[in-house]
């Protein structure tokens, strides 16, 4: 976006012209330009021109502000429209423990605003963060894109988020996580469990192929809850799945995931078949009997439908999509793969057969899927701990465990014991 030369950059709040424009690049408060890199001297020259309201005196304070400037500068040069946003919630810094502190980031941003190097650019709707643009005269725009390094940072192993399961659009529930009572509860009950799990995982070696190339990684997880407040306003923590914290799980394409090694041993996946549907059928939830069949998605008349689409519909229903609607959900049409599946298929055909096969799916309560995820995550964590206590390394992907091939029976036993602990029926497992 090009701004008029006559604009008073210090005063105006620029508003995006359309939803097509970038939401901006996040200036992560852990990025820095290492000394000796190609762009270090250039960044330092810009940094020395900054006019501080209160110049830093200590060397560490100066360094922190340079790190903050580096992060903002990187985001500006990386974004095609020179738009940047960052975390400026003081409570968030206390929770996340960013390596670049709040004072450094806020003071640096304020100085850049005062000089007109950055200008307000509206609100980033996903999490209400303010955005800023480097106007055409800003020296920050003269820098070419560059690579940054990352300061050592260990994010919180337990997070409570707002919204639903889309973690990209669900920011931290900073207000709740900042409350003394919740912080005390997290510290006493939630965090120790994840720290214990991560400590056990640290005793094993993991080799992944996230992009086809070998990478030895440290495996640490974080657990993410979603707050679904009750009618009285009290928090209701749901969801609770664990996600990679220090690594990236390879995709299945090109056989990348199959190459995974644990303690230098080849691995295999052990999956729970129809995990959500099985949990939903338990007496604790809907309470109905599932047929004794190899595949719950092709049982009876379901065999006349597309299996992949049947599975998707059932999963969507469990997660809040009503079978009583009149047509395909918008989310199905927005996803390219799903759009191909529904081509020339009738929603009514799937509703009829699925509701006849599993009538309880007509009565799924609001946010039931989130509660099922919480139960599922507790089962997975228990199964992982069972394996790790036997000195068997493992990885988790929601309702799946990755284990050395020689430990398949151990993994099956871990799942069975985790289900037994809940008083649930033992699930059908698939190996592959």
- Say if 6 falls within a structural domain: no
In this model, does residue 7 exceed pLDDT 60?
Answer: no
Of 163-177, 218-232, 320-334, 357-371, minimum mean pLDDT range: 163-177
SS3 165: coil
Q: Tell how strand 265-272 and strand 400-404 pair up.
A: antiparallel
| Residue at a domain's end among 311, 335, 363 | 363
Same domain membership, residue 189 and residue 144: no
Note the pLDDT of residue 9: 31
- The tens digit of pLDDT for each residue in 108-122 reads 999 999 999 999 987
Note the pLDDT of residue 167: 63
SS3 65: helix
pLDDT band for position 373 (50/70/90)?
Answer: very high
Which DSSP string do the residues of 82-140 spell out, in sequence order? -EEE----HHHHHHH--SS-HHHHHHHHHHHHHTTSSEEEEEETTTTEEEEE--TT-GG
Note the pLDDT of residue 76: 95
* Closest C-alpha among 174, 164, 104, 120 to residue 9: 120
SS3 272: strand
Same domain membership, residue 346 and residue 297: yes
Domain that holds residue 85: 25-150
| Residue at a domain's end among 87, 118, 150 | 150
- The tens digit of pLDDT for each residue in 205-223 reads 999 998 888 999 999 999 9
And the tokens for 36?
A: 């000796």
**CA-to-CA distance for 100 and 406, rounded, in angstroms?**
44
**What number is the average pLDDT over the span 119-141?**
82
pLDDT band for position 3 (50/70/90)?
Answer: very low
**CA-to-CA distance for 311 and 288, rounded, in angstroms?**
19
Same domain membership, residue 142 and residue 56: yes
Q: What are phi and psi of 32, to 5 degrees?
A: -155, 160
pLDDT band for position 164 (50/70/90)?
Answer: low
Task: Give the up-direction half-sphere exposure of residue 150: CA atoms within 13 A in the CB hemisphere.
Answer: 7
- Say if 9 falls within a structural domain: no
Note the pLDDT of residue 111: 97
Note the pLDDT of residue 166: 64
**What number is the average pLDDT over the span 55-68?**
94
The number of distinct structural domains making up the chain is 3
Return mean pLDDT, the chain: 90
Same domain membership, residue 196 and residue 170: yes
- Say if 338 falls within a structural domain: yes
Task: Please give the DSSP secondary-structure letter assigned to residue 233.
Answer: S
- Say if 320 falls within a structural domain: yes
In this model, does residue 4 exceed pLDDT 80?
Answer: no
Same domain membership, residue 182 and residue 54: no
Same domain membership, residue 297 and residue 246: no
Higher pLDDT, 40 or 432: 40
Point out which residues pair with 132 in neighbouring strands. 84, 120
- Say if 10 falls within a structural domain: no
In this model, does residue 128 exceed pLDDT 60?
Answer: no
In this model, does residue 11 exceed pLDDT 50?
Answer: no
**CA-to-CA distance for 380 and 309, rounded, in angstroms?**
26
Same domain membership, residue 310 and residue 226: no
Same domain membership, residue 355 and residue 375: no
Note the pLDDT of residue 254: 86
In this model, does residue 228 exceed pLDDT 50?
Answer: yes
Task: Please give the DSSP secondary-structure letter assigned to residue 258.
Answer: G
Decide: 268 and 410 in contact? Cβ < 8 Å: no
And the tokens for 117?
A: 């190097």
In this model, does residue 1 exceed pLDDT 50?
Answer: no
- Across 13-17, 151-155, 369-373, 406-410, the highest mean pLDDT is recorded for 406-410
In this model, does residue 21 exceed pLDDT 60?
Answer: no
- The tens digit of pLDDT for each residue in 279-323 reads 999 999 999 999 999 999 999 999 999 999 999 999 999 998 999
Residues 6+ away with beta carbon under 8 Å from 84:
24, 25, 26, 27, 72, 75, 76, 118, 131, 132, 133, 134
- Say if 70 falls within a structural domain: yes
**CA-to-CA distance for 42 and 34, rounded, in angstroms?**
12
| Residue at a domain's end among 103, 125, 150 | 150
- The tens digit of pLDDT for each residue in 343-357 reads 999 999 999 999 999
**What number is the average pLDDT over the span 402-414?**
98
Note the pLDDT of residue 94: 85
Same domain membership, residue 199 and residue 77: no
And the tokens for 415?
A: 């799942």
Same domain membership, residue 215 and residue 82: no
- Say if 412 falls within a structural domain: yes
- Say if 7 falls within a structural domain: no
In this model, does residue 6 exceed pLDDT 70?
Answer: no
Same domain membership, residue 387 and residue 243: yes
In this model, does residue 247 exceed pLDDT 70?
Answer: yes
Same domain membership, residue 372 and residue 358: no
């Amino acid at each position: 976006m090009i701004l008029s030369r006559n604009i008073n950059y210090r005063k105006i709040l620029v508003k995006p012209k359309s939803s097509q424009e970038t939401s901006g690049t996040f200036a992560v408060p852990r990025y820095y330009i290492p000394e000796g890199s190609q762009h270090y001297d250039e960044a330092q020259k810009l940094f020395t021109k900054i006019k501080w309201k209160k110049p830093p005196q200590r060397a560490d304070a100066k360094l922190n502000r340079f790190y903050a400037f580096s992060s903002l500068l990187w985001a500006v040069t990386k974004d095609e429209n020179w738009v940047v946003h960052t975390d400026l919630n003081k409570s968030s810094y206390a929770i996340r423990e960013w390596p670049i502190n709040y004072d450094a980031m806020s003071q640096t941003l304020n100085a850049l605003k005062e000089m007109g190097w950055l200008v307000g650019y509206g609100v980033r709707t996903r999490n209400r963060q303010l955005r800023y643009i480097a106007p055409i005269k800003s020296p920050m725009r003269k820098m070419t894109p560059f690579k940054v390094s990352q300061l050592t940072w260990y994010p919180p192993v337990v997070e409570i988020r707002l919204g639903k399961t889309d973690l990209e659009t669900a920011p931290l529930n900073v207000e709740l996580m900042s409350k003394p009572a919740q912080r005390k509860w997290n510290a006493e009950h939630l965090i120790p469990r994840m720290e214990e799990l991560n400590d056990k995982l640290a005793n094993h070696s993991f080799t992944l192929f996230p992009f086809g190339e070998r990478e030895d990684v440290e495996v640490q997880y974080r657990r993410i809850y979603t707050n679904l407040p009750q009618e009285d306003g009290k928090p209701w923590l749901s969801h609770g799945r664990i996600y990679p914290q220090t690594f990236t799980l390879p995709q299945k394409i090109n056989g990348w995931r199959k190459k995974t090694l644990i303690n230098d041993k080849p691995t295999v996946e052990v999956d729970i078949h129809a995990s959500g549907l099985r949990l939903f059928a338990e007496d604790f939830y809907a309470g109905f009997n599932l047929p004794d069949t190899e595949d719950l998605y092709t049982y009876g008349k379901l065999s006349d439908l597309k299996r992949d689409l049947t599975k998707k519909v059932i999963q969507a229903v469990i997660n809040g999509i009503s079978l009583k609607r009149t047509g395909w959900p918008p989310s199905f049409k927005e996803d390219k793969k799903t759009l191909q599946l529904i081509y020339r298929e009738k929603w009514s055909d799937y509703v009829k057969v699925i509701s006849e096969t599993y009538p309880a799916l007509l009565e799924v309560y609001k946010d039931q899927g989130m509660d099922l995820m919480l139960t599922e995550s507790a089962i997975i964590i228990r199964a992982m701990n069972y394996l790790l206590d036997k000195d068997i390394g493992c990885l988790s992907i929601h309702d799946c465990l990755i284990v050395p091939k020689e430990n398949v029976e151990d993994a099956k036993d871990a799942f069975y014991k985790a289900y037994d602990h809940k008083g649930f029926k033992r699930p059908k497992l698939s190996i592959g």
